[in-house]
Structure 1
Amino acid sequence: MRKFMFDLENQIPRNKIKYNEPLRNHTFIRLGGEADILVQPTTNEEIQTVIDIARRNNVPLTILGKGSNTIIKDKGIRGITLSLSHFNQIEVKGCEIKAQSGADIIAVSRAALDHTLTGLEFACGIPGSVGGALYMNAGAYGGQVSDVLQSAHVLTRGGELLNLSGEEMELGYRKSIFRSDRYIILDAVFRLEEGDQASISAKMNELTLARESKQPLEYPSCGSVFKRPEGHFAGKLIQDCQLQGTRIGGAEVSTKHAGFIVNVDNATAQDYLDLIEHIQQKVREKFDVELETEVITLGE
């Protein structure tokens, strides 16, 4: 372990390494235990170095983006947590936007607006990173990442650099090849079209207003908890089970939108997981429908 720590601190700037870091500071939901080691790289080379050090020393490696659709368990994450939140550059060339995986997908949509490019309006209110958006094939209001994604640079767990096309990413409803955990996303290229700035801005304002009026943004949350079951809407099923306002510990089914669980009073991850299980049980009993989680759970 001493050699491992020496290797890490010798090759990664010390100000980018944190020990026993509370992960509640790195998630939208504001909960979770500590990371043994949190590394926040800003270059491809630093990411490759961390992967190599972890592999050579047989240290577990967990990738974390913005932590928007993530529950980190109360005992935290062992080994290295590689946070890409500072790996966030955005570049626009013609009708293409190249964004590093830690960039906010909202910031990418705003860059599109600034350059009069249409196609990413749907993402103007989606919290989280570009990497997370690819991982989940994020979507809202009739649009999704697969509609505009052209390619992505990724690293394998063995450190090999690859360029994947949109087709190779196997994007579907809230799924992608990245859920296999074989790749680490470095950046993505979005192919957009020239548009009218006033129309793009008006659409984004409309979607932002819709989001603010319907979602419980006044509380920390992990976003939409459940995938949409075939033929149903998760929020409607939960609402019809009269579960809104149901609370376990500090976690509560939102009274504003039943598809959200909000952190109303210093909730623990276990509060969330217990409430998720309770919701699944009640919906199963009443409607014979299995709710599958959209949120990602990490740690122990």
Structure 2
Amino acid sequence: MKEIINELEKENVGKVVGKEPLSKHTTWKIGGPADIFIEPDGIDGLVKTMEIINKNNLPWRAIGRGSNLLVDDDGVEGAVIKLGQNISHLEIEGETLRVGGGYSFIKLATIISKEGLSGLEFAGGIPGTVGGAVFMNAGAHGSDMSNILIEARVLFPDGRLEWVNNEDMNFSYRTSRLQKEKGICVEAKLQMKQGDKKSIVEEMQGHKSYRRETQPWNYPCAGSVFRNPLPDHAGALIEKAGLKGYQVGGAQISELHGNFIVNVNEAKAADVLAIIKHVQDTIRDRYQVDMNTEVELVKRQA
């Protein structure tokens, strides 16, 4: 790994660190070290990083703000690429946004609401980055990224950097093409529409307030753990089963919201995984419903 780190540093791709604890880069504050942690200095640095990774046949994965990840206690094999502040540009042209994949989703929604542009009200309170939101087709309150994305600029594993239109992103509930092809969204073009600034701000603030009142952001967490098994809702099923407050080690199902697992005392990934399995087994036994995770489980072996 030292040789690859030296090569990345020589090419000035950005920040490069060996054995970086990923607990520092996930909202759950859980996760062992990455063999190599890279925060590219712009899109050019990201492309060069991918070239070096491919040349060395190195396993890799990309992260944003780490808001939807459970990283194994043993860490991640190979390279972890973080899209951060250096890929967080924003251009507003009329009703169209062009925004970097590392841009904070909450920050974007706040700025756009103050511009009197409608379309991102649903994002009020959703953590993560724009790239992560495209990857997950993030959504809430009846809308999601599939409703506003025009096209995404994607870096594919083979090094291709291409614009992909909405239709070709294969969006569905909390899913996109990028989950199957492991592409990185480095930029997105989003379609907004003019609206009443006061109404837009009030709606977004209402969504934020609702999240503060109903979700346990006072502890490290990763948002909703399970996908809603429609027409049911994951949190309601978990509460109905009497599982709120269930705890393993330092991890606990929130007393406030059944679909949140919170880190109450230096939780390990193993603690969270044990809770996830207990929930899945319980809900399947009682209600014959399969509970699939919304959070991504990142194991040591790539």
Cα deviations across residues 116-147 of structure 1 (Å, max 9, x unaligned)? 10010110110001111111111111111111
Counterpart CA distance in 2 for 1:226 and 1:243 is: 14
1:291 is paired with a residue whose SS is coil
Residues 64-119 of structure 1: per-residue CA shift (max 9 Å, x gap): 11100110100101211101122222221110111111111111112211321001
Q: Secondary structure at the match of 1:224?
A: coil
Superposition pairs of residues 101-112 of structure 1, within 5 angstroms: 101-112=101-112
Q: Which residue of 2 aligns with 1:52?
A: 51
Give the residue type in structure 2 aligned to 1:5: I
Give the TM-score, by structure 2 length: 0.96
Residues in 2 aligned to 1:226 and 1:30: alpha-carbon distance in whole angstroms:
19
| Contact 1:40–1:84 (CA under 8 A) maintained in structure 2 | yes
Greater alpha carbon shift after TM alignment, 107-116 vs 252-261: 107-116
Runs of 4+ more than 2 Å apart: 1-6
> Structure 1 unaligned runs (5+)?
none
CA distance in 1, matches of 2:178, 2:169: 7
1:247 aligns to what? 247
1:77 aligns to what?
A: 76
Counterpart AA for 1:197: K
Q: Is the 8 A contact 2:137 2:146 kept in 1?
A: yes
How far has the Cα of 1:13 moved from its partner?
A: 5.4
Distance in 2 between residues matched to 1:95 and 1:150, nearest whole Å = 12
Distance 2:226 2:17 in 1: 32
The 3 A distance-change label for structure 1 pair 2 and 120 is closer
Give the alignment's TM-score, normalised by structure 1: 0.97
1:162-173 alignment, distance < 5 Å: 162-173=162-173
Aligned to 1:230: 230
State the superposition RMSD in angstroms. 1.2
| 5+ long unaligned stretches in structure 2 | none
- Offset at 1:8? 1.0
* Paired residues, number: 299
Written as runs of structure 1 = structure 2, the 5 A alignment for 1:183-194 is 183-194=183-194
- For residues 134 and 47 of structure 1, the distance between their equivalents in structure 2, rounded to whole angstroms, comes to 18
Percent sequence identity over aligned pairs? 36
Deviations 1:24-64 (A, max 9, x none): 00000001001111110131110011100011011111111
